Structure 1
């Protein structure tokens, strides 16, 4: 994972018009996992959709309302229900009268590594968008694309008029996505990545990081990275026999910020579960993993 840039270069609470139909407001929640923070997107000119309203933060909500002004909001869309993405949906809906739509609600106990990845128990959509369903306003059409992997309920949203894809946390502009079991699923993630690779989107707008100008190349590289990590795990188990995940992380993530070790361990676990499902690895009762 990359080091976050100087926050003076990434102002929060300011509407940046990054394309004719697309505005962006950065939430004030930078961290080793959110990079500079969660980016909320405003789609449209005369009427709007809001994608990923962000965390429960009064300053961010105020910034969104200021950016919206007197324009009607047709829909508030959430890519998934982690706490840095969806909690502002309810108060923004109360202020604007817009329906909350998008991903399905999901709350479960997760022993994942980061507080901002916990699920949002307040999320209660007025409408759940299925794969391929659309919502539209004046001059814009958003189509839902089911992309499970980071979470089982994750959606991306395609802006048809711009040939652009809002990728939430499925593809980020600065790092690979954390896949944290039990809900995060590596096999689902790889299938979703293949689905994106088969598309012809011209640009990605992720929830964290800058726009991705050559998305197919990035997706291909991210898939290759996951395959390389899988190969590292298999070779580690071939050399060392039955082993626990912390030992794998210590060898495979040398030079990485130690604050990210727990997240790395979750991704290693996701790979091991995938290898188990394919008959390549298996878990022992003592928490060690071995090749079959």
Structure 2
């Protein structure tokens, strides 16, 4: 079982000091993929970085501007190009004379257009500054390191706060839920590799964009990986029991999950299936697809 952390004390639009160097403002966009809403992090005092400014909601934009009044925003950082993370990045940067840092949305957008799949993609997202793994961004009393973590999306990037041995982990790891992997942009093999990369860094705390911080980091990531491996085993078991399509197996694999999440769950199963085909454990005629038929190798 994943030791989820779901308790969170907050008020929409309020700026809360959550650590010596970190403040948080939560947008009023709760939902099945955003939990209580998008948590925007402000790092530092006086000269600050803002991480994942969030959705284009006027009252949220005003709350951010109020929280940042009298301060200089030196960096606006975006973990990835989904509509609950990046749309306010450029408006906020323009309001404060800053530049947007991150990785651009994939050129082919690589994401299914089906309804019910997350919050949707900000397909036009392009940062002013494209980051590489290990790049350092700093201000008075704070240093952030770019940590590339593809998997949830191909352009997902986390930010390590050196002074607190903390990681702003976007949607890579979420305290309240597992992360959706939606092919073709999302990739399960990349996701496992990125989880191992974060696990090896021995962070003291993870700050997800949605929900509460994770403070027991190593056991939480281990449980996250175990959950994925368990889901993989369930898929193989379903194939062994005669299920041949993703559509047929999702209702039983996700029987305890909100049915609104079943379309996204199907894409996570698809991501597992692609990886199982790569590994030669499952076969399918032609290229793997969401509607393909599969069998054990």
TM-score > 0.5, shorter chain as reference: yes
Aligned CA distance change for structure 1 residues 147 and 5 (closer, same or farther; 3 Å): closer
- Cα deviations by residue, 1:225-280 (Å, 9 ceiling, x for unpaired): 00000000001111115x11121111111121111111110110000000011111
1:51 alignment partner in structure 2: 51
Q: State how 1:144-159 maps to structure 2 within 5 Å.
A: 144-159=146-161
C-alpha distance in structure 2 between counterparts of 1:71 and 1:277, whole Å: 50
Q: State how 1:71-150 maps to structure 2 within 5 Å.
A: 71-106=71-106, 108-111=109-112, 113-114=115-116, 116-150=118-152
Provide the aligned C-alpha RMSD in A.
Answer: 2.1
What's the offset of the Cα at 1:103?
Answer: 2.3
1:188 alignment partner in structure 2: 190
Aligned CA distance change for structure 1 residues 2 and 191 (closer, same or farther; 3 Å): closer
- Cα deviations by residue, 1:170-217 (Å, 9 ceiling, x for unpaired): 001101100000100000000000111111110000001100011111
C-alpha distance in structure 2 between counterparts of 1:191 and 1:122, whole Å: 27
1:288 alignment partner in structure 2: 293
After the TM superposition, which of the residue ranges 247-256 and 260-269 deviates more from structure 2?
A: 247-256
Gaps of 5+ in 1: none
C-alpha distance in structure 1 between counterparts of 2:272 and 2:118, whole Å: 22
| Count of residue pairs the alignment pairs up | 290
1:245 alignment partner in structure 2: 246
- Cα deviations by residue, 1:68-122 (Å, 9 ceiling, x for unpaired): 0110000000000111100001110111111101223335152255365322133
1:170 aligns with 2:175: no
Gaps of 5+ in 2: none
What's the offset of the Cα at 1:20?
Answer: 1.4
* DSSP-derived class of the 1:117 partner: coil
For the 8 Å contact 2:6–2:176, the answer to whether it is kept is no
C-alpha distance in structure 2 between counterparts of 1:90 and 1:236, whole Å: 46
After the TM superposition, which of the residue ranges 114-123 and 275-284 deviates more from structure 2?
A: 114-123
For the 8 Å contact 1:83–1:116, the answer to whether it is kept is no
**Structure 1 stretches of at least 4 aligned residues deviating more than 4 Å after TM superposition:** 1-7
* DSSP-derived class of the 1:157 partner: strand
For the 8 Å contact 2:118–2:264, the answer to whether it is kept is no
Aligned CA distance change for structure 1 residues 116 and 94 (closer, same or farther; 3 Å): farther
2:181 alignment partner in structure 1: 179
For the 8 Å contact 2:3–2:223, the answer to whether it is kept is no
The answer to which structure, 1 or 2, has the higher relative contact order (CA under 8 A, 6+ apart) is: 2
2:233 alignment partner in structure 1: 231
- Cα deviations by residue, 1:30-81 (Å, 9 ceiling, x for unpaired): 0011100111000001210000000111111111000001100000000001
